[in-house]
Structure 1
Amino acid sequence: MAKIVLVSGSTRRDSLNTAVLTTVRHILAELPGDHEAVTLSVAGLPFYEAGLEHADGSPEVRAAKEQVAGADALFISTPSYNGEMPGALKNALDWLSRPGGRSPLTGKVTAVTSASPGARGGIDAQPGLVGVLGRCGARVVEHEPVALGGARPPAGADGRYTDPDIVGRLESLTRAVLTELSRLDERAEVLV
């Protein structure tokens, strides 16, 4: 079973990026294979502070690290705040990157997308996010950027997008994650 942690960079209640991840969860349920999607909220994590880290973090930080460590992949959707990822998402990555050498992000297959009501769809935040993920040791999935511009809240009551173009682009990125996981499984089998 592939376990995928869904992370929204937005803490807003009716977030477009959370709707993107709700759509990804639905796509995973429809695809062949055994997949589990769980959500990690960045909202409840304290601000990163070395003293707190040396005191073993907080229960929220420990739970987030355990959740990511137990996952096969991450799927992150972020808004763009002044052309960058939101501080809450960066803070979560700072916590998850620690301690160096034992970070649960190391080698983690990770997909990145964004959504915004603006025409560019938050794409300006993606390079910085990809850069931070690379410095944290994550394996960012190679795929053409998926940025949903002009995004509006989903019309349906279940909180997911149904527009065929949006679903198709997110499905392509989701399949890229699953393909990368399959490649890693094949490499592991060869090494055994």
Structure 2
Amino acid sequence: MSVRILALVGSLRAGSHNRQLAEAAVKHAPEGVEVVLHEGLGQVPFYNEDIDVEGSVPEAAAALRAAAGQADALLLFSPEYNGTIPAVLKNAIDWLSRPYGAGALTGKPVAVVGTAFGQYGGVWAQDETRKAVGIAGATVVEEAKLSIPGSVTRFAETHPADDAEVVEGLTKVIDQLSQAAPAAA
């Protein structure tokens, strides 16, 4: 049986290094694992309980929930904005956490990776993302981590999919995450 991993990217920029990292995950997913890159996080409105009403949930939020519901696990790609998680990724977590106790994240294995320009590769944002997604009900796969520093220079002329060290680290994370997925059992 194949494991389906939904990839969410916390940067909306088309040329984002975190998006490129997600593309590398899609390209280098091991046999038996499908990584699907979700599009449209920029269209998901900020979470508001007043608009989270059955039958009238905004289309982009409903699509996000459906994609997460069809996934066996999630892989979140977080850049670091002002030392913390980007709003678009936090908003996705908020939508996926509802309804409380029964959201699309409940019990799902999740790993968080990313790259940033700084010398630590965005670890603060990734730690905050793990915290938020865990509180939202997901099962954080703590050992599945990858923080790549110096993104602006490291990926100036090389796509992450063509960086052997990055591909090795990413493949390890995907393996760890897929092993934690119920479909792997």
CA contact (8 A) 2:110 2:177 kept: yes
Structure 2: how far apart are the matches of 1:68 and 1:171?
A: 21
Residue identity matched to 2:103: S
Structure 2: how far apart are the matches of 1:178 and 1:185?
A: 6
% identity of equivalent residues: 30
Alignment of 1:40-119 (within 5 A): 40-41=38-39, 42-54=41-53, 56-119=56-119
CA contact (8 A) 2:107 2:139 kept: yes
Give secondary structure in 2 for the equivalent of 1:93: helix
Structure 2: how far apart are the matches of 1:145 and 1:88?
A: 21
Alignment of 1:139-154 (within 5 A): 139-143=139-143, 145-152=145-152, 153=155
**Residues 1:154 and 1:73: Cα distance change in structure 2 (over 3 Å):** farther
Give the aligned partner of residue 38 of structure 1. Answer: 36
Deviation of the 1:26 alpha carbon = 1.4
Residue identity matched to 2:17: L
Give the aligned partner of residue 11 of structure 2. Answer: 10
Deviation of the 1:37 alpha carbon = 2.2
CA contact (8 A) 1:154 1:160 kept: no
Aligned residues: 180
Structure 2: how far apart are the matches of 1:32 and 1:144?
A: 18
Deviation of the 1:161 alpha carbon = 2.7
Give secondary structure in 2 for the equivalent of 1:124: helix
TM-score, scaled to structure 1: 0.86
Give secondary structure in 1 for the equivalent of 2:22: helix
Structure 2: how far apart are the matches of 1:77 and 1:21?
A: 7
* Stretch deviating more after TM superposition (172-181 or 144-153): 144-153
CA contact (8 A) 1:154 1:161 kept: no
Give secondary structure in 2 for the equivalent of 1:143: strand
Deviation of the 1:185 alpha carbon = 4.5
CA contact (8 A) 2:112 2:144 kept: no
Give the aligned partner of residue 124 of structure 1. Answer: 124
Give the aligned partner of residue 189 of structure 1. Answer: none
**Residues 1:154 and 1:176: Cα distance change in structure 2 (over 3 Å):** farther
Gaps of 5+ in 1: 187-192
**Residues 1:144 and 1:47: Cα distance change in structure 2 (over 3 Å):** closer
CA-to-partner distance for each residue in 1:33-67, whole Å, 9 max, x for gaps? Answer: 2x322222321101111111136321111111011
**Residues 1:94 and 1:144: Cα distance change in structure 2 (over 3 Å):** closer
**Residues 1:151 and 1:40: Cα distance change in structure 2 (over 3 Å):** same
